[in-house]
Structure 1
């Protein structure tokens, strides 16, 4: 394994992490912005108000996108193992 192969594997890994975690991060960000806007409009500054909706939304998103996340991780694992098997 040389440096180019290692960098290619790390690049694939980073892309897999971004694509697998992307939907949950986007949902958490949208919910967070919506709640921050609601808090700014109503001037209710309760700290716990932001956590519960985000946790519920991310949990629902994980349940909805679990097959997609699993397939992304499985595909990356297959590629990494096939590279090991074929000696890069």
Structure 2
């Protein structure tokens, strides 16, 4: 194994991590910005208002995107495990 191979594998792992986490993070970001706008318009500065909607939407996004996320991670792991005997030679 060369250092270029290790760096390439690490890069692919980071890409998979970002790809699978992005939908949940984006949904949470959009809801957070929406709630912040609502608070700015109504001048309600209660800090606890943001937590419950963001948690609920995050769990809903995990339910919606969870199967796809798991499939992507399993496919990456399957690729690693199938190629591992060739890499250690």
TM-score, normalisation: structure 2 = 0.94
RMSD of aligned C-alpha atoms? Answer: 1.0
Aligned length: 88
* 3-state DSSP of counterpart to 2:87: coil
Name the structure 2 match of 1:59.
Answer: 59
Could you give the per-residue CA deviations for residues 9-54 of structure 1, whole angstroms, max 9, x where no partner exists?
1111011001111100000000000000000000000101001000
Is 1:43 the counterpart of 2:43? The answer is: yes
Partner of 1:9: 9
5+ residue gaps in structure 2?
A: none
Per-residue deviation, 1:83: 2.8
Distance in 1 (alpha carbons) for counterparts of 2:9 and 2:55: 32
Whole-angstrom CA distance in 1 between matches of 2:85 and 2:54: 42
CA distance in 2, matches of 1:80, 1:9: 9
How far apart are 1:63 and its partner, in Å?
0.4
